[in-house]
Amino acid sequence: MNSEELNQKIYNAFGDLVIDKALVRALKIRDKPTIPSFVEEWLISRFQRPDKSNAEIYQDV
């Protein structure tokens, strides 16, 4: 099983509870200590879409 298949299984099982920690690190929002990390992760997971770039997600958050 490759990582894409595993990720899909995780998303299928847990849906909106999944947090993409790699995306959270890539957006570097934690460089600005304005909100707690669990809120940051929740926001990113809500605005994350396959058709959006990291810049678009960052702007939405």
pLDDT of residue 18: 83
Q: Is the pLDDT of residue 61 over 70?
A: no
Average pLDDT of span 16-23: 81
Q: What's the pLDDT score for residue 9?
A: 93
State the average pLDDT over residues 52-57. 75
Contact 48, 57 (CB under 8 A): yes
